[in-house]
């Protein structure tokens, strides 16, 4: 592991604080931030609480990594015992966090997600400006949780939010946050040359779910939709690409039990976490994003469009924004396997039309989510306070 050496402040160093070392949505967006800053001539240091697959990706981009454990905000922190643990962990992490900011010579601290709130007050304590990139939008959460997530943002100099929906959720807690926020849609790099889906749906229709195996993401809804389709005479096979959060292994066990109870053993495949999702996307016919809770945006939905594959998303929150303007995308009621199955059935029945529209949509998505456009906007925000 590369460690940072003393760097004089003013050298343009940006310290990025990130809550995990995984390779999911916000992790990949953070890598685009690293690319943008390195290309702009910045020195970049990324601090992570633990090691993991993200470390190598960061270092390959010319940034340096420091491991510095810091508390991550979980829903359990809203309970009295959880809040006490969070406060104690925050206090214990303060000396190391302050030392890292000073040692790195950071001119700016960039906090990626609101789930590591301690970095914002710590940076202000040592007189460093802070940008927070907000990836979360808990509009349906209890008011206490929404306010708790938003309070630390009052100390930030600038905010980057990934969607209009995320901005609306923030300003519903504190209207003044809107004055320091800039909407920057996620950079989502796609394949160099999107290839059209297969010409005919011979055999089973290939459905794909990509993401965490968590209750809020709705993979169980996708499994039930496969059962509904089978009862209607439409054969579909579902690939699940992703793993649960640590501590949520019970939910994966429930999903596997659901497959057994529905006798779908040959129609559902668990692939676990995969660092390369493009091979799965390009092998799919239809991508499903069946979230049952608010989503701040929807990188997976965008990735499916970039891959020239029709997508079915829950008609909620940032997912609607993510597929806005794409004719190959359909929106359905959340938590409704019958609605999801009906949308897949329509794609199956009108496959030539959806296939052609998906290929056209891929070009539009490539322009909308171009990394170069994202890089320019992020650097503008950081430069505005440097």
At 170-193, the pLDDT tens digits run 999 999 999 999 999 999 999 888
Q: Which residues pair with 111 in a beta bridge?
A: 17, 132
> Comparing 73-87, 152-166, 167-181, 356-370, which segment has the lowest mean pLDDT?
73-87
Sign of CA dihedral 257, 258, 259, 262: positive
pLDDT at 76: 54
More confident residue, 247 or 146: 247
| 3-state class (DSSP) for residue 246 | coil
Query: What is the CATH topology of the domain spanning 205-368?
Result: Rossmann fold (3.40.50)
Report domain extents, the chain. Answer: 14-187+370-383, 205-368
pLDDT at 144 over 90: no
What percent of the chain is modeled with pLDDT above 70?
93
pLDDT tops 50 at residue 10: no
- Collapse the DSSP code of 293 into the 3-class scheme (helix H, G, I; strand E, B; otherwise coil) and give the result: coil
pLDDT attached to residue 2 = 41
Average pLDDT over residues 215-230: 97
- DSSP class of 140: T
pLDDT at 6 over 60: no
* Least trusted range by pLDDT, from 66-70, 176-180, 200-204, 361-365: 66-70
pTM over 0.95, yes/no = no
Is pLDDT at 29 greater than 70 in this prediction? yes
**More confident site: 5 or 16:** 16
Quickly list DSSP for 256-277: HHHHHHTT-TTTEEEEE--S--
How far is 24 from 153, CA to CA, in rounded Å? 23
At 7, the pLDDT band (50, 70, 90 cuts) reads very low
pLDDT of residue 86: 65
Give the pLDDT confidence score for residue 78 in this predicted structure: 55
Q: How far is CA 323 from the centre of its chain?
A: 15
> How far is residue 215 from each of residues 101, 301, 344, measured CA to CA in Å?
37, 18, 21
Confidence (pLDDT) at 294: 86
Condensed to tens digits (0 to 9), the pLDDT of residues 68-120 reads: 988 777 655 555 565 567 666 777 788 899 999 999 999 999 999 988 888 99
CATH of 14-187+370-383 given 3.50.50.60, 3.90.1200.10, 3.40.50.300, 3.40.50.2000: 3.40.50.2000
Per-residue confidence band for 8, with pLDDT thresholds at 50, 70 and 90: very low
Q: Please report which helix (H) or strand (E) contains residue 147, including its range.
A: helix 143-150
Indicate if the pLDDT at residue 374 is higher than 90. Answer: yes
What is the pLDDT, as a whole number, of residue 160? 98
Q: What is the pLDDT of residue 27?
A: 94
pLDDT for res 4:
41
- Which pLDDT score is estimated for 386? 60
Query: For 101-105, 127-131, 146-150, 248-252, which range has the lowest pLDDT when averaged over its residues?
Result: 146-150
Mean pLDDT of 294-321: 94
Phi-psi region of 326 (alpha: psi -120 to 50; beta: other; left: phi over 0): beta
């Amino acid at each position: 592991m590369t460690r940072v050496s003393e760097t004089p402040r003013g050298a343009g160093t940006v310290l990025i604080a990130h809550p995990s070392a995984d390779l999911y949505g916000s992790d990949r967006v953070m890598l685009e931030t690293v690319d943008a800053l390195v290309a702009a001539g910045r020195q970049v240091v990324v601090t992570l609480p633990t090691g993991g697959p993200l470390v190598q990706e960061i270092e390959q981009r010319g940034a340096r990594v420091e491991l510095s454990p810091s508390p991550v905000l979980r829903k359990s922190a809203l309970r009295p015992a959880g809040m006490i643990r969070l406060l104690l962990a925050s206090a214990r992490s303060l000396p190391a966090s302050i030392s890292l900011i000073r040692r790195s010579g950071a001119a700016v601290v960039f906090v990626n997600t609101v789930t590591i709130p301690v970095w914002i007050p710590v940076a202000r304590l040592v007189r460093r400006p802070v940008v927070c990139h907000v990836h979360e939008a808990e509009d349906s959460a209890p008011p206490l949780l929404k306010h708790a997530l938003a309070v630390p943002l009052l100390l930030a100099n600038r905010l980057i939010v990934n969607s209009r929906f995320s901005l609306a959720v923030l300003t519903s807690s504190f209207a003044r946050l809107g004055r320091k926020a800039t909407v920057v849609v996620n950079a989502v790099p796609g394949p160099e040359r999107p290839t059209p889906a297969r010409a005919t749906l011979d055999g089973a229709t290939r459905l794909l779910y990509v993401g965490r195996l968590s209750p809020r993401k709705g993979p169980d809804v996708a499994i039930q939709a496969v059962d509904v389709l089978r009862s209607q005479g439409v054969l579909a096979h579902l690939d699940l690409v992703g793993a649960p959060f640590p501590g949520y292994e019970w939910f994966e066990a429930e999903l596997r039990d659901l497959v057994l109870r529905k006798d779908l053993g040959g129609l559902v495949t668990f692939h676990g976490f995969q660092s390369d999702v493009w091979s799965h996307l390009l092998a799919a016919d239809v991508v499903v994003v069946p979230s049952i809770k608010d989503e701040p945006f929807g990188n997976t939905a965008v990735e499916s469009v970039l891959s020239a594959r029709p997508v079915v998303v829950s008609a909620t929150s940032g997912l609607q924004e993510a597929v806005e303007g794409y004719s190959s995308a359909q929106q359905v009621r959340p938590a409704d396997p019958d609605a999801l199955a009906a949308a897949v059935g329509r794609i199956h029945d009108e496959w030539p039309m959806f296939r052609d529209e998906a290929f056209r949509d891929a070009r539009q998505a490539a322009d909308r989510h171009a990394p170069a456009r994202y890089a320019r906007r992020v650097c503008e925000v950081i430069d505005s306070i440097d």
